Chains A and B, each alone.
Chain A
Amino acid sequence: MQAIYQAKGLCKNYGRRTALENMNFEILPGRLVGLLGPNGSGKTTLLKLSAGLLVPSAGCVLIEGNTPGVATKTVTSYLPDRLALPGEMRVDDMVSLYGEFFADFDTAKASAMLADLKLDPRQRIGAMSKGTREKMQLCLAMSRAARLYLLDEPLGGVDPAAREYILNTILRNYNENAAVVISTHLVEDVERMLDEVLILKEGRLLLHRGVDELREESGMSLDEYFRDVFRC
């Protein structure tokens, strides 16, 4: 099977500081991959490079054989780690924006998911709570039949009930021929759903392994392994 995502010698420097150093890995379709690491380990930088929001200092990212650009953005659904939806727009404006820009966007699915959140289509995004905005952003990202989902901290800053909703939304809605990359610190919450794990430490890829394989090798759960590696 051909890899949907490849990082080849990927490096990113911010001035003199190295954020990512010589990353080499591949992700196959149909895999749910956890991108784990402590703060400042380079998770967000890696996802931003993959989403085409940053340019690598060296090496490259290939998504379906293309470097990030218009072609990769049509097949990649990116969820940033912050609230990016314009506050002045209404819920239905956002749905129609996604519908117009992404050919793989399922408007009916998005409307149903937003109705589950009890969102009025005429409601202004600026008037929503932070948690609701995060959930809406996730619903929009997951309403696409993308080939690659890049989810940056989808569980960050939400209550446990919302976490449950978010994880179920991801599991229910991702296309089985697609790969999903989820960046998080909340290892315990995502452990049960992951197929593979990428662990970053100080901008370097420490480990890329199947979750079951890692459990067998270490004799620990992923959460325990993570705590063990990054113990202060």
Chain B
Amino acid sequence: MMNKLLKYECMAVGRILVPIWAGTAVFSLLTSLVSRLDDSFAGAVGIPITSVLENFFEVLTALFVFATIAACVMLNIQRFYKLLGDQGYLMFSLPATPWQHMAAKLLCACGTTIASILIAMGCVWMANTTGESEAAQAFWVQFSLRDTMNTVFLVLLLVLSLISAYLYLYLCMAIGSRWPQQRMLASIATYFVLGFILQMTLVILFVAGAVLVANLPQSVQDGFARFFLEAAMNQTAFAWGIAGIILLLFAVADGILWAVTQYLITKKLNLP
């Protein structure tokens, strides 16, 4: 059932995203061609038409690159929002569980967002305009296989943070759908209010933690200091320890966001 849901989700998203991806690729290819043509006129007197065209296509490519990412994110948000609206009457009467609907939407959202980022980068590279190509090259250097573990960490962090971002939006929409009217407004309000509450909670937790540590007996504080000094001696292990904790925190946050959203759409579903 999951495969079928995923297939229909990808088809629905692909119907809109594929033409945008294709448009971005076409404009970046045109930019590249015009840029090469312009190079062949280097040294000519006046401003050749190719120069004007190059600037024109560069702007269009930049707009399409932006649209590729923005459209992908907006579309995926809208897909989940519609699930909690009239389309939910059809989708939730299919023989699939709510978590399968959620998982299909999340997988599709993350997959298409990563694909959009890669396509946007590929198009920037193809357009081969100075500033952007340098940025793209810098990115590829960062993600080169020369430092496999760093790359694995960055990729995992990107995927987990992408999942967190979408799950947070899903949770806000699930809470917003509890309102009988003005659900869109309620979802947006939830996004900001919940964000503020979470930030304040984290600040309070950090302050409480700091106060707690400051009030620990001197011997325990010395123990901590010794531990961190010893850990700092082995920088690689220390760095990986920190990286592991960061990934674990993201994974825990994703788990909590998933569980609450799933509870809301399973037990508290409130279609309009």
Binding site for B on A (CB under 8 A): 48, 51-55, 69-71, 73-74, 76, 78, 80, 82-86, 88-89, 93, 97, 100-102
Q: Is the CB of B86 within 8 A of A83?
A: yes
A interface secondary structure, majority = loop
Contact A82-B93, Cβ < 8 Å, known A53-B269, A54-B269: no
Decide: B95 and A101 in contact? CB cutoff 8 A. Answer: yes
Residues of B contacting A73 in the complex (Cβ-Cβ under 8 angstroms):
93-95
Q: Within 8 Å CB of A88, what residues of B? A: 12, 15-16
Separation of A83 and B86 alpha carbons in the complex (Å): 7
Report A-chain residues with C-beta under 8 Å of the C-beta of B268.
55
Contacts of B95 in A (CB 8 A): 70-71, 73-74, 101-102
8 nearest A-B residue pairs (beta carbon): A80-B89, A84-B89, A84-B90, A73-B95, A78-B93, A74-B95, A70-B95, A101-B94
- Any A CB within 8 A of the CB of B146: no
Chain B residue with Cβ nearest A89 = B12
Contacts A/B (CB < 8 Å), 27 sampled: A48-B271, A51-B92, A53-B88, A53-B89, A53-B93, A53-B269, A53-B271, A55-B266, A70-B1, A73-B94, A78-B93, A80-B90, A83-B86, A84-B87, A84-B88, A85-B90, A86-B82, A86-B87, A86-B90, A88-B15, A88-B16, A89-B12, A100-B4, A101-B1, A101-B94, A101-B95, A102-B95
Counting contact residues on chain B (CB < 8 A from A), the size range is 20 to 34
A71 to B1, CA, bound (A): 13
- Nearest Cβ on chain B to A56's Cβ, whole angstroms: 11
Q: Which B residues are CB-close (under 8 A) to A48?
A: 271
Other than the known A80-B93, A97-B8, what 7 A-B pairs have Cβ atoms closer than 8 Å?
A: A52-B93, A53-B92, A55-B267, A71-B95, A78-B93, A88-B12, A89-B12
Decide yes or no whether B96 CB sits under 8 A from chain A.
yes
Residue of A nearest to B79 (CB): A86
